[in-house]
Structure 1
Amino acid sequence: MATEDIPLMNLGHTASSPQGPSHHGGESSQPLMASSATRASDRARRISTETPDMRGYSFPTNSISNAKYNAFTFLPMILIEQFKFFFNLYFLLVALSQIWQPLRIGYLSSYIVPLAFVLFVTMSKEAWDDWQRRRRDAQANSERYQLVNGSSIKAQDLRVGQIIQLHTNQRVPADLVVLKSSEHNGETFIRTDQLDGETDWKLRTACSLTQNMPLVSSHDIELEISPPEKSISTFWGTIDVGESGHSVPLSIDNTMWANTVVAAGSIEGIIVYTGKDTRMAMNTSKSRNKVGLLELEVNSISKILCFCVFLLSFVLVAGHGFGPKWYIDIFRYLILFSTIIPVSLRVNLDMAKTVYAYQIENDKNIPETIVRTSTIPEDLGRIDYLLTDKTGTITQNDMDLRKIHIGQMSYYGDSMEEVESFISSWNPRGTTYPGASRGQREVSKRVCDIVTCLAICHSVTPTDEGGYQAVSPDEIAIVKWNSEMGLELVKRDRKTLSIFHRASGHHLNYEILYLFPFNSDSKRMGIVVRDSATKDIWFYLKGADTVMAPLVEHNDWLEEEIGNMAREGLRTLVIGRRKLEEQEFDSFAKAYGEASLLMSNRDAEVANVVSKYLEHDIELLGITGVEDKLQHDIKPSLELLRNAGIKIWMLTGDKVETAQCVAISSRLVARGQYIHVVTKLDSIHAAHQHLDYLSQVPDACLLMDGQSLQFFQDNLPEFAQCVLQLPVVIACRCTPQQKADLTKMVKRSTGKRTCAIGDGGNDVSMIQAADVGVGIVGKEGHQASLAADFSVTQFCHLTKLLLWHGRNSYKRSAKLAQFVIHRGLIISVCQAVYSISSNFEPLALYTGWLMVAYATVYTMMPVFSLVTDHDVDEHLARMYPELYKELKDGRALSWKSYFIWVLVSVYQGSMIQGLSQIFVGLSQQLFKKMVMVGFTALIWTELAMVALEVVTWNKTMILCEVVTLGFYMGSIPFLGNYFDLAYARNPMAYGKAALILGIVIVPIWVARVIERRLKPPSYAKVQV
């Protein structure tokens, strides 16, 4: 069966059907066909209210537990998680080596304390987070609910088969089937924003067999339902009451899933799934532990450093000669040089990420931005590919009906007044234009027919506040337009719909017999209604042109007009109807009722019934064109990102023509840029021709539909290599899975960092597949926002997130990482020089407090203050987006920059220790004096190097430098165990340290000045 010929119900989420012999007031919704094939083999769940949870099945308890640890697993799991990192494992081995006396160097605490501090910070954070999870679990588990027998029970004690009462704004504690509603028609509403992210209320209906029972609990209710599954839009089953033997089908419309909230009225419901069997629990996955590219690069550098430690230790032992216990000397050297791999590096980088997250969330220019994954802010500064949704992302998802076409005529702009005139002059119960010509009457009738269809065929519900509730903003836009034209929706429930004709004052009342809601798979919606005045039965249908074209009667204008509207950037819907005779409808109702009661293959049978009885010979009424406005500042934002060297791909489920128009109007495609369109591709030869052409026009934009995309991916491996060279790619008619597959293809084929941005539930797969996922809080709900690493409110905020915060985060962390490594290298070089001077003996130069304080109170604040530095201001970062481009190659933390820092460290460490020994001496009696001069020069060097690295000074940096220097100088009188305090009071000691400082700093400063003059960095060029 061709895609266009798929019947309405074949892939639909829900559809309403009768419950029982009567065909009035349908309420049963059908599950996805995709799961039907497995149901025959699945074990259906049988539930009875007579003996709840006692029918031989093992149902889980309803206790919620989101905690990661318990009292017994906390410490082991934390230790396993932490020591799988190279840094921590290395320092654990170093610390443990100090237990053995022959390897002990200095105080044991100087090795244990830094590692313990790192572990303490991590464990404290994990313990706090887990306590918070337990606290939330306890609140949910202890919440009390009312059973229908009047007793109160905790949520965690609820069992399958029990009937509970819920009232407005109460959370649903478990998955249940609605038996009774406080509304006489059995309707109620729920909020599902905590389940699927959608903010619109959802209509739910009570089972028709139990709605009118005076006392539900007095009856023995039997249910046979589907086994637990993840899909929140799939449910099937039947219900029997007492010994009547009469059963009716159950559907998604009769359910309330756990963690939804009753929005209106009160209900009584029977619990069908508890605990881990609930839809909420089955769709809850562990948060992703993303690792940033910078962290992977630092890990690679640390492995090189580890190799250097082993090599240096071996060389020094060889210089001394391999004695009987040479292996002990190697281990002692490994311990002495352990500072080459700084234990504080990971802590510094993690703390920096926290600072970046705080800066992002408190940026007043991008309000309400949320950082949900704080481990990857540096990746924001290294994006090569941006994959974006269209509707609600590039456009506002703010809909206005702009145009209708009825075959002979199009109405838009000022001509909409003519449509309003037709509706005003229309007598719904009489003749249109009694004195008009035949041509006028024909046009007027067609206009009134399509407007009537639009007023009826939707799922919109008016609210008490005068607004509307609906899943789709398209439908709300059309209903509002109807009201402007003079046909106002005033009442809507499960069984009836009332429209007010403003000009005549008449109410047009319709009985809803069946409803087939719109969904992304069927791409259409239908409704069967009975006109209360004429008793005529009508089947109204609207949907995308690809699925409607095979269903409507033959015409010669549909395809052309669809293309015309799409080129104007309008979202199109094809509108049709079919009148049903009473006998024809009865045949359909009977067949549909029988198909709805099937326990296996129900979806396929229902789909066949709908296709056979309804979806054929549809009268084509016309087309609507709805405008989706562009996002605020979308044009300059896309241009900025393009100039920053980011290749942008737009992945949308919309039509080719609409996507092309939006791409041009939003300037996703540059002016004059060639757009190569590929649609309905089904030939290998043609596919090769397209790729050959694109390889010769590297500046072109490729625009393809979903069918062509799938054909390329299935048949041409070279497709990825070709399209990845293009600056812009647009894929239309994409499924959510295709969006995710394209994202993975880009990551796999290039190894570059990808960013995906979207606003709807259909963008979640793409967002999660990307290295960096950004969700927009849109009109389609919060699902994309909740699944993303970063949440924003507008697309234009992405430019600041990448070009400012991303660029700063990467440059700052790269500088911080290299500086922390330099800090460890320079003191290790001092140790190596001292060991060589001491006849290659593995003797410690700095021990105890000096080693602990060196990486903490004496240098940490100034070094960490580098995370507040910036090379250009925000204005220049936006004015010159090319500054972002140079970061994508990783130049800020490259092997070249790393080895430069190694050379600087070797030079400075050698000079500091060598000159200290020359100026003071190396004898045992002068050891403390030499340590005092050398260590002081070392601390001053670190502070001076921080000052050299700063581009833009701020108060925090100055304060950190001054306070740290003051603290060190003030602590010298308390370092009698390490320094000669009498010598420390001699100004000559500080003069020698200052001379050493000048020798190690001035050459570095001169080299920087010369380099900046001969080859200035990019940021310096734009500041001229």
Structure 2
Amino acid sequence: MEPVDDAQQRMSQPSLSHSRSLYSKRTSILTPEEQKDQQSGIRYVRFNDHSTNASRNFPSNQLRTAKYNALNMIPKALFEQFRRVANFYFLVIAIVSFVPGVSPSTPAASVLPLLVVVGFGFARDVYEDGKRAAEDRRQNSEKQIIMARRPESVDAVDRKVSLVSKSLSDRLIALNLQPEIHRTVASRNIAVGDIVFLRKGQVFPCDMVLLHSSTDGGIAYVSTANLDGESNLKRTLCAAPTSDLKYPSELLSLHGKVRAQQPATALYDFDASILLSGHEPAPLSASNLLLRGSILRNTSYVYGLAVYTGFDTKVALNMRNPPSKMGNVEKKLNWIVLILFVILAILISACSGAAAALQANQAEGQWYMDEFSDRGSGSVFARSLGTFLILFSTFIPVSLFVTLEFIRVIQALFMSADYRMKTKGRSVAARATNLNETLGEIEHILSDKTGTLTENEMRYIACSAGGNVYNIRKKRRDMHNAVKKDVKPVKLLLLAMALCHSVVPEPKSEGSEPLFDDDDSDGKKKKKMRAFRNSKKTESADAANANQSDDDSNDGLPSYQGQSPDEVALVTSARKYGIGLLRRTIDTLVIDHFGTEEEYTALAELEFNSDRKRMSMIFKCPDRKIRMYTKGADTIMLPLLRNNLDMQLVQDHIDEFAKEGLRTLVFAKRDFTPQEFEPWFARFQEASNSLDDREAKVSALSAEIETDLEFIATTAVEDKLQDKVPETIKFMREAGVKLWVLTGDKRETAENIGYSANLLDRDMDVRHIKGATSKEVRSQLSGTLDDHILDEEPRSFERARSSSIANFARRLSLRDKKKVEEKEVGIIIDGKSLSFAIEDHAELFMALSDHAKVVICCRVTPLQKALVVRLVREERKAVTLAIGDGGNDVSMIQEAHVGVGIYGKEGTQAARSADYAVGEFKHLLRLTALHGRFSVVRTAGMINLSFYKNIFFTLTQVLFQPFAFVSGVTFNNQWISAAFNVIVTSASPFLYGIFERDVDEGTALRFPSVYGSNRDKKLFSIKSFLEYTMLYGLWHAVVVFFGVYLLFGYLRIGFSDGRDSGLFLVGLANSTIVTLMTLFKILLHSHTLNWIVLLFMALSLGVYVAVVPLSISLFQDYPMEGQLVALFSSPLFYLSAAVIMVGGFVLDFTVLSIRQLVKPNMVDRLRVWERDVRRNKAA
């Protein structure tokens, strides 16, 4: 806080009345220049001129992500439900059932199942959208502070703004700000042109140009982790004309405008200029823009001019739904449903044709068919189409799709509840439950390295300075001793480490109070909750501080935030060895130089970017010299060094560091005379202020001065492997999963991480693909193939190219089958060579990668990562999983079949963009090999059993039709038919999809081959579908129908009350035996039985028994009265049911016995092994 006298001085600064005259000059009429620019896509934003800006129809600041509102919720949500083919199919059936004379059952029997299924889907959709709407309301209603709008009459009539409260006024005064020039407004009511005030820790509500900051030099530090996933703080600079304003109240006196481009999606692309009266036009760039969604850090408060609001903000323009992904199970399910539709259409058409042929020529004595006697064949055919459509509607299980969604959600809950996959309190997040099964079918894993395989916790390890290596891990030439002995190269390196960076020192503090009292809006309950959260944050901070190393835990020393963890590690280490960064402003760095405080004036900063791969800082040093410090990648820096250097020794040390898996940077410096520096600096300032092509001009001038550098040292930073990474990779490899690593690191670093992570081994022949031209890359790829795969026929790949690539692949397969022993090969390819390989030699590259044990792509860009994933997907039709932790991994995560994000130190963008989010790479093992595989087993079994039970039930209806003159009379009771699918037999497949385990958890994780056995996709395929439906379903239907017909229909077995078995009784006997066999089939198929499964099976039978009396009492189904009692009181029924069920299951037991005794698969053998283990333990 500033001194009291200064605070009093601020309070006496220009008031509202003082600035009123300035606003009278403004007009709401566009100038001819502005009109011309506006037509060409340029917008003008007047400073705090509400009337003028409002006339330009800028969007409000309200954002809405919810799909529904009160008016469109019902029609829109219902439309979403009926977009599904299955739901639409059952809707058609329900409508047809209301046509008089068509439906063989009451319409309610068709409508009720549809209402249940659609109702569940509708409720879930509305509930989820309701949560989005609540979050929208919360964000749009958040209180914000703006400076009083002008003209003054606006404030007088605008009910959307209000005077600040007493508590808020006190807090503003505490910051030496004037409460009377501020207003409170809901976030949704911020308008373009408003001057918005924000305090440390607040989220920016719109895109703003920074006008004033509490820090010296007009700098604000912001966190953009919510936008780009990067956890480092970014510096934002005040607009040049307003950077020297002493008091915030002076902003009210400004008369000017911002000329900006129309809204664009690029986060860091902002080309604009600011025009203030009395000033020359000044350029604005992304370094002056505060983005909506970013958070103010290390800065007490800022003021900004709102230039983009609402859906014009960059974060809103980048909002898009994640790519729609569909797993293999879902794709096959769609095909199977299509096949069933075709079969159903054939059945309906055949039965309708037969009905038209028979009923139009009724036989003698068929008096009950009189209603058709006066109709032609066409009329009967048309009526029969509707009748059989309803009668056979159970052919496709209406409950399947709802059941599938529910079991996937519960499977995801199992993943989240798995305590072995929790890291620092974070559980697995499943955002794409429709891909649960795909997790169990992965064939290729493509992984980022830094932060994914490694910790992304950088630690300074070594340096090469003055021709010597100082390695703290190997106790070689201790750095502390070097400092004590005044080794100049080491001290020079420490100084460069403390100066050349973008690191920001953050003084230890207790944070800032919230601007708004909870009592103003949230009430006492939320106030207590916030106090509780703050206490927990304090506890967490205390625990974190207790775990810090000694050099970071000294009271009063700042912590550091930087653009990369490497920089923070180097600055922290420099402080440990005697040179510490204390303070930083826009143009000064203050360091503690071995106990002496020194100030360096920053003249220019040449920023790092992915093209330059280096950064430089130019200072006016305490000794009055102008000196530039530069650091960057060795491949970029070494060519820029002076020739008076033992380059080979430097390169040897760099290679030595790389072999240890360390990340390297080269530091250098250059001194300038004023005569050398000043002309260049004048051109640099001109380029920096240029309104056109500013970035290219600055880059060219940077390259011009970054030459003839004097080598200082090379540093090496360690990024440790995460826990159990080698074990996870070993498991996946043994399961037959191919592994690729895609990293931006240098070749040597990537290679050595490959060795430590078990990706590479010393017996492997590691081939480096590093061609400068497309021809060289092709030669290296084909040469590796010839040497390691087709060595029996030299240059055979070149000849194979003349035939098809498919023939070539077959030859490779035949060679693998011969089991010719050969050395395993690993491929390491750099970014430049990778571009040639993808664009010009994709087939050749993929042919080599098929045989390689691992492929490591280094020095790759985010786009190249996505292109590699696409190449593997499209060229090999392989199921891919991409995993990463940073914003640069999002593209490949979204490109893969399954994207897994890690909650990383680079932010959460990867985790938020992924289908699944985990805490560490090792959790990938349980996610895929356990939860993913069990999801395949459960979902495949549930779908197969669902189709089986419905086709079994429906085929008995089909088989009855020839005996009913193809009249469409229902064999099974209509209410039993409706309840059978939705209620009676839906619980057992549902529970199967939740609890089934074909092997124990320990077995699945002990034997990688168990996971590998899933990739043949036999658990759910056309073959498995045909087995369950055309084999078991058809056989069971034939046995049950003809068994019931023979025993109860043809032989006319009587009951204890003397009654013959009529149609209703025979139909009831049929549906009862079908229900019993269906439940027993599910029981037979299950490997995991618990009390919940058995209880629901018993309840299913109870529900079945209750359907008939309920239908009589509720729907007056009087023909069924007494039928159930007659059936269940007859011993002959139980005997007949037993005989029929045994006959039906003969096929099941025969097939099962042949599989387990003659041709058992891996899982069959492991189940036997598990039984033996349990038996031995019991003994």
Report the TM-score when normalising by structure 1: 0.90
Q: By how many angstroms is 1:355 displaced?
A: 1.1
Q: By how many angstroms is 1:319 displaced?
A: 5.1
**1:706 matched to 2:831:** yes
Which residue pairs with 2:1176 in the alignment?
none
Which residue pairs with 2:1141 in the alignment?
997
**Structure 2: distance between partners of 1:697 and 1:956:** 56
Instruction: Tell me the SS of whatever aligns to 2:420.
Output: coil
Deviations 1:361-408 (A, max 9, x none): 110110121112222111101111110011111111122222211352
Deviations 1:253-293 (A, max 9, x none): 33211122223311121111111111111111123332221
- The correspondence for 1:912, drawn from 1030, 1040, 1056, is 1040
Instruction: Tell me the SS of whatever aligns to 1:375.
Output: helix
Which residue pairs with 1:943 in the alignment?
1079
AA aligned opposite 1:616: T
**Structure 2: distance between partners of 1:934 and 1:210:** 87
Q: By how many angstroms is 1:157 displaced?
A: 2.0
Q: How do 1:393-404 residues align onto structure 2 when only pairs under 5 Å count?
A: 393-404=452-463
Instruction: Tell me the SS of whatever aligns to 1:156.
Output: helix
Which residue pairs with 1:420 in the alignment?
480
**Structure 2: distance between partners of 1:82 and 1:968:** 28
**1:456 matched to 2:599:** no
Instruction: Tell me the SS of whatever aligns to 2:850.
Output: coil
Which residue pairs with 2:1001 in the alignment?
874
Which residue pairs with 2:841 in the alignment?
716
Instruction: Tell me the SS of whatever aligns to 2:63.
Output: coil
**1:743 matched to 2:869:** yes
Q: How do 1:35-54 residues align onto structure 2 when only pairs under 5 Å count?
A: 43-49=41-47, 51-52=49-50, 54=52
Q: How do 1:278-427 residues align onto structure 2 when only pairs under 5 Å count?
A: 278-317=313-352, 322=357, 323=360, 324=377, 325-367=380-422, 368-406=427-465, 408-413=467-472, 417-426=477-486
Deviations 1:835-865 (A, max 9, x none): 1222333221124321121113311112211
Contact 2:838 2:871 in 1 (8 A): no
AA aligned opposite 1:459: S
Which residue pairs with 2:583 in the alignment?
491
Which residue pairs with 1:774 in the alignment?
900
**CA distance change for structure 1 residues 160 and 656 in 2, over 3 Å: closer, same or farther?**
same
Instruction: Tell me the SS of whatever aligns to 1:195.
Output: helix
Q: By how many angstroms is 1:884 displaced?
A: 1.2
Which residue pairs with 2:816 in the alignment?
none
Which residue pairs with 1:19 in the alignment?
none
**Structure 1: distance between partners of 2:625 and 2:468:** 28
**CA distance change for structure 1 residues 57 and 521 in 2, over 3 Å: closer, same or farther?**
farther
Which residue pairs with 1:119 in the alignment?
118
**CA distance change for structure 1 residues 849 and 231 in 2, over 3 Å: closer, same or farther?**
same
**1:183 matched to 2:183:** no
- The correspondence for 1:552, drawn from 641, 647, 650, is 641
Which residue pairs with 2:549 in the alignment?
none
Which residue pairs with 1:172 in the alignment?
204
Question: Which structure exhibits the higher relative contact order, with contacts defined as CA atoms closer than 8 Å and separated by 6 or more residues?
Answer: 1
Which residue pairs with 1:801 in the alignment?
927
**CA distance change for structure 1 residues 464 and 597 in 2, over 3 Å: closer, same or farther?**
closer
Q: What is the identity percentage for the equivalent residue pairs of Structure 1 and Structure 2?
A: 30
Which residue pairs with 1:103 in the alignment?
102
Contact 1:257 1:279 in 2 (8 A): yes
Q: By how many angstroms is 1:888 displaced?
A: 1.3
Consecutive unaligned residues of structure 1, counting only runs of 5 or more, are: 1-38, 427-443
AA aligned opposite 1:397: N
Q: How do 1:586-665 residues align onto structure 2 when only pairs under 5 Å count?
A: 586-612=678-704, 614-665=705-756
Deviations 1:399-436 (A, max 9, x none): 2222211352222135555432232344xxxxxxxxxx
Comparing 211-220 with 652-661, greater Cα deviation is found at 211-220
Q: Which has the higher helix share?
A: 2
AA aligned opposite 1:424: K
Which residue pairs with 1:239 in the alignment?
274
AA aligned opposite 2:59: P
Q: By how many angstroms is 1:973 displaced?
A: 4.7
- The correspondence for 2:289, drawn from 255, 267, 283, is 255
Consecutive unaligned residues of structure 2, counting only runs of 5 or more, are: 1-36, 149-181, 361-376, 509-556, 790-823, 1053-1059, 1170-1179
- The correspondence for 2:311, drawn from 268, 276, 279, is 276
Contact 1:406 1:623 in 2 (8 A): yes
Contact 1:691 1:722 in 2 (8 A): no
Comparing 941-950 with 318-327, greater Cα deviation is found at 318-327
Contact 1:59 1:160 in 2 (8 A): yes
AA aligned opposite 1:761: G
**CA distance change for structure 1 residues 695 and 795 in 2, over 3 Å: closer, same or farther?**
farther
Instruction: Tell me the SS of whatever aligns to 2:917.
Output: strand
**1:812 matched to 2:938:** yes
- The correspondence for 1:672, drawn from 748, 763, 778, is 763
Contact 1:107 1:847 in 2 (8 A): no
Q: By how many angstroms is 1:320 displaced?
A: 5.3
Which residue pairs with 1:987 in the alignment?
1130
AA aligned opposite 2:397: P
- The correspondence for 1:194, drawn from 226, 234, 245, is 226
Q: By how many angstroms is 1:508 displaced?
A: 2.9
**Structure 2: distance between partners of 1:137 and 1:185:** 36
Contact 1:238 1:597 in 2 (8 A): no
**CA distance change for structure 1 residues 873 and 649 in 2, over 3 Å: closer, same or farther?**
same
CA RMSD of aligned residues (A): 2.4
Deviations 1:624-667 (A, max 9, x none): 11111111101110010111111111111111111111111111
Q: By how many angstroms is 1:72 displaced?
A: 4.7
**CA distance change for structure 1 residues 234 and 42 in 2, over 3 Å: closer, same or farther?**
farther
Which residue pairs with 1:10 in the alignment?
none
Which residue pairs with 2:987 in the alignment?
861
**1:789 matched to 2:915:** yes
**Structure 1: distance between partners of 2:776 and 2:145:** 68
**1:161 matched to 2:193:** yes
Instruction: Tell me the SS of whatever aligns to 1:550.
Output: helix
Deviations 1:902-940 (A, max 9, x none): 211111111112111222116896112212221211111
**Structure 2: distance between partners of 1:59 and 1:550:** 51
**CA distance change for structure 1 residues 357 and 239 in 2, over 3 Å: closer, same or farther?**
same
Which residue pairs with 1:230 in the alignment?
265
**CA distance change for structure 1 residues 919 and 974 in 2, over 3 Å: closer, same or farther?**
farther
Contact 1:197 1:783 in 2 (8 A): yes
Which residue pairs with 2:959 in the alignment?
833
Q: By how many angstroms is 1:775 displaced?
A: 0.5
Deviations 1:574-633 (A, max 9, x none): 111111222333222211221122211111122222222x21111121211111111110
Which residue pairs with 2:134 in the alignment?
135
**Structure 2: distance between partners of 1:307 and 1:882:** 38
Q: By how many angstroms is 1:724 displaced?
A: 4.4
Q: By how many angstroms is 1:975 displaced?
A: 5.4
AA aligned opposite 2:560: Y
Which residue pairs with 2:32 in the alignment?
none
**Structure 2: distance between partners of 1:48 and 1:676:** 61
Report the TM-score when normalising by structure 2: 0.79
**Structure 1: distance between partners of 2:51 and 2:1144:** 79
Contact 1:53 1:59 in 2 (8 A): no
Contact 1:45 1:225 in 2 (8 A): yes
Contact 2:884 2:900 in 1 (8 A): yes
Instruction: Tell me the SS of whatever aligns to 2:630.
Output: strand
AA aligned opposite 1:734: V
